[in-house]
Amino acid sequence: MVCHLKILFLGFLAFVSISCRADGAISTRIMKNIGRINKEGPYLGLVVPNSFEMSPLLQSPSFVPDENSPILDFSGRRFRIGRLENETVIIVMTGLGMLNAGIATELLLSLFKVKGVVHFGIAGNANPELQIGDVTIPQYWAHTGLWNWQRYGDGPDDELSLESNGDYTRTIGYLKFSDYNNDTNNGNSSGNLLNNVWYQPEEIFPINGTPEVRQHAFWVPVNEQYFAVAEKLEDMKLEGCINSTCLPRTPIVIRVERGSSANIFVDNAAYRQFLNSKFNVTPIDMESAAVALICLQQRTPFIALRSLSDLAGGGSSVSNEAAFFSPLAAQNAVAVVLKFIAEIDGVLAM
């Protein structure tokens, strides 16, 4: 009898569990909340790496949380719903790195009605002509952390493993580690076991493509209309001082050609110089390219704004203290985001 009651009880629990999760991984309660939120959409999605960069936005008087559904928590992410300027927005913090940024952006675009994505934060700088506090808006983003590391003894003319299958390519270019040996003299380098790494495009599967048929993407463009609107921000006045410490000149907003991302914190002057000379990269970060790639696959308009917090690897005339200038850089990024949203009204309706 006891055994029979236990079986009935376990069956009841299983039934309750199934009923509460009738929509797979998304509970009925969450689905209802998402449906209620989406009735007020579509939204502009704001994607930000961490709380340090998000706090100035949430503390801005421009942000007004939604009265009925100010937050929705799902899968370890908190989606904040409200208004910025004249736009309804959903803000999500990604966490550090490409994986976190990709997951958070995919959840944002899969759960909610989103008409465009604005990504912002701080970044390292690869362009010595710019300085700490400048806010850069690249036209293209690339993930520069996907490599094919070549076998020792092979050179640039040797085919990469699996290249003939279409898995890898030499079209983008490579980094030759021996060019940076300590014993390099007069431009001549001696070989080392690290050999070459070849930069690779990402495999992507667009929503309007054939499932499981891959495409490739390396330089991902931001939305053309968003980038055109960004030109209006180039006369903004930004903050250039922390307490009594001021930068040599007032920071500027500038559109640049390229930015790059990888799961690498670049505090190395040689690699910074390589990225700038090889790819004409200005901001270097750990998330933007992941957001760009997800938006490309989902065919969602996208732009990224990154404020420079340091010259990667040091060497500028300004003290290279990223920890000291990061609050200034984060505040400048938020100021530019707010101005961008105010200027983009109309374009978002596309």
Q: Which CATH number characterizes residue 101's domain?
A: 3.40.50.1580
Same domain flag for 45 and 161: no
Same domain flag for 43 and 154: no
Q: Identify the pLDDT of residue 73.
A: 97
Instruction: Give me the mean pLDDT over the 252-267 stretch.
Output: 97
**Lowest pLDDT segment from 8-17, 45-54, 57-66, 266-275:** 8-17
Same domain flag for 213 and 275: yes
Consecutive H or E run containing 138: strand 135-143
Same domain flag for 276 and 169: no
Q: Identify the pLDDT of residue 258.
A: 98
Task: Give yes or no for residue 20 having a pLDDT over 60.
Answer: no
| 10 assigned to some structural domain | no
Peptide bond into 42 cis (omega under 30): yes
The candidate with the shortest Cα–Cα distance to 310, out of 144, 146, 134, 139, is: 134
Q: How confident is the model at residue 317 (pLDDT cuts 50, 70, 90)?
A: very low
Q: How confident is the model at residue 187 (pLDDT cuts 50, 70, 90)?
A: low
The pLDDT tens digits of the residues spanning 67-120 come to 999 999 999 999 999 999 889 999 999 999 999 999 999 999 999 999 999 999
Q: Identify the pLDDT of residue 19.
A: 42
CA separation, residue 196 to residues 56, 267, 295 (Å): 42, 21, 31
Same domain flag for 44 and 129: yes
Q: How confident is the model at residue 190 (pLDDT cuts 50, 70, 90)?
A: confident
Q: How confident is the model at residue 191 (pLDDT cuts 50, 70, 90)?
A: confident
Same domain flag for 91 and 232: yes
Tell me the C-alpha distance between 246 and 53, whole Å.
21
161: left (phi over 0), alpha (psi -120 to 50) or beta: beta
Instruction: Give me the mean pLDDT over the 42-53 stretch.
Output: 96
DSSP conformation class of 185: B
Q: How confident is the model at residue 1 (pLDDT cuts 50, 70, 90)?
A: low
Task: Give yes or no for residue 201 having a pLDDT over 80.
Answer: yes
Same domain flag for 224 and 244: yes
DSSP conformation class of 12: H
Same domain flag for 38 and 86: yes
Range of the domain at 170: 147-180+190-200
**What is the distance, to the nearest Å, from the Cα of residue 81 to the centroid of all Cα atoms in its chain?**
20
Instruction: Give me the mean pLDDT over the 159-172 stretch.
Output: 96
Q: Identify the pLDDT of residue 82.
A: 97
| 270 assigned to some structural domain | yes
Tell me the C-alpha distance between 217 and 201, whole Å.
5
Q: Looking at the 3D structure of the chain, how many domains does it have?
A: 2
Task: Give yes or no for residue 14 having a pLDDT over 90.
Answer: no
| 9 assigned to some structural domain | no
Share of the chain above pLDDT 90, in %: 78
| 185 assigned to some structural domain | no
Dihedral Cα 306, 258, 253, 46, nearest 10 deg: -40
Q: Which residue has the higher pLDDT, 198 or 187?
A: 198
**Lowest pLDDT segment from 24-28, 146-150, 175-179:** 24-28
Same domain flag for 122 and 167: no
| 15 assigned to some structural domain | no
- The bridge status of strand 241-242 relative to strand 63-65 is unpaired
Task: Give yes or no for residue 62 having a pLDDT over 70.
Answer: yes
Mean pLDDT of the chain: 90
Same domain flag for 139 and 152: no
Task: Give yes or no for residue 285 having a pLDDT over 90.
Answer: yes
Which residues touch 236 (CB under 8 Å, ≥6 apart)?
252, 253, 335, 336, 339
Same domain flag for 278 and 343: yes
Q: Which residue has the higher pLDDT, 246 or 279?
A: 279
